[in-house]
Structure 1
Amino acid sequence: MKSIFEENAYHEIKSRIDNLNENSQANWGKMNVGQMTWHCQGPFNIMLQKENYGLKPNWLAKVFFKKALYNDKPWRKGLPTAKFLKAKEDKAFNGEISTLKTLIDEAFAEKAKTEWEPHPAFGYFTAQQWGQLQYKHLDHHLRQFGV
């Protein structure tokens, strides 16, 4: 699995994001492109400790779901979205894409960091797992929008 901390994967993701625009249409799901770019900020906000969204440790998530976050198997279309990451209203694409790019850059700048604070619900991830999670999540949504 690629990692957002790998130079090639970082540049690939940034290039794919640059292919989005305010008229990009989803191939599946209910989010529009502004909502999707807002949604993709959440995992970075958690990793960079900007937000915890009121999440609490969840042993069921750790046991049954955590490995799926960063393994090599792509996520299937139409997976349910965590409530705290569901956009309840439209989001302005230009502002949200700018914020997302900034968060990706901030994460990449931390690529040499070896220890991260635990995820508030899933617990500890290694640096490799955090990087893979971020890449996998972005890849899922960029495929959703055909880029």
Structure 2
Amino acid sequence: MKNIFNIEVAQTIVKRIENLSTTSSPIWGSMSVSQMLAHCCVAYEMVYTNQYSRPNRLSRWILKTFVKKMVLSEKPYPKNGKTAPQFKIKDEKNFELEKDRLIAFINKTQQFGEAEFEGKRSSSFGSLTASEWSCLFYKHLDHHLTQFGV
């Protein structure tokens, strides 16, 4: 898995995002390109804002026991897989705004670096290593950028 904290990897992801346009359409799934960008921002909002509440104890146990391994494995996410409710973007979003927000989140994360994320707590999965955070961020971005052919 590529390391999102590596400047070259982060720049490659940003270039892929910049190759999107308002007319980009998905190879699979039903999200528009602007909804996909907003969807990808949710992972970062969970880290950098208090916008989302922490799952309850039972939900956290289920996530840590059954979902974490799949999310953090090298195996790609399945097409049209289920997503958590907070990741579902139902209304249309502003493409440029969401693109700029996502790029800013990627740059912020890369600038903070691995040391900032080593042992950092995820609201869903508990404490993660920097490598696990990188996997979580990179794998999700790669999945959706591939979904839109970039």
Q: TM-score range by the shorter chain?
A: over 0.9
Say if 2:12 is the partner of 1:9.
no
Q: TM-score, normalised by structure 1?
A: 0.92
Structure-2 residue corresponding to 1:53:
52
- SS of the residue corresponding to residue 131 of structure 1 reads helix
Alpha-carbon distance in 1 for matches of 2:72, 2:61: 17
Alpha-carbon distance in 2 for matches of 1:36, 1:101: 13
Q: Is the 8 A contact 1:3 1:134 kept in 2?
A: no
Q: How does 1:1-147 map to 2 (within 5 A)?
A: 1-48=1-48, 50-51=49-50, 53-56=52-55, 57=57, 58-114=60-116, 115-147=118-150
User: Cα distance, 1:55 vs. partner?
Assistant: 2.5
More helix by share: 2
Q: TM-score, normalised by structure 2?
A: 0.91
Root-mean-square deviation over aligned CA pairs: 1.4
Residues 73 and 31 from structure 1, CA distance in 2 versus in 1: closer, same or farther, beyond 3 angstroms? Answer: same
Unaligned runs of 5+ in 1: none
Question: Residue type matched to 2:66 in 1?
Answer: F
User: Cα distance, 1:19 vs. partner?
Assistant: 0.6
User: Cα distance, 1:70 vs. partner?
Assistant: 2.1
Q: Percent identity?
A: 38
Alpha-carbon distance in 1 for matches of 2:51, 2:71: 17
User: Cα distance, 1:39 vs. partner?
Assistant: 0.5
- SS of the residue corresponding to residue 111 of structure 1 reads helix
1:94-118 CA-to-partner distances (Å, cap 9, x unmatched) read 1110111111111111114253531
User: Cα distance, 1:33 vs. partner?
Assistant: 0.4
User: Cα distance, 1:82 vs. partner?
Assistant: 1.2
Question: Residue type matched to 1:65 in 2?
Answer: V
- SS of the residue corresponding to residue 35 of structure 2 reads helix
Question: Residue type matched to 1:9 in 2?
Answer: V
Unaligned runs of 5+ in 2: none
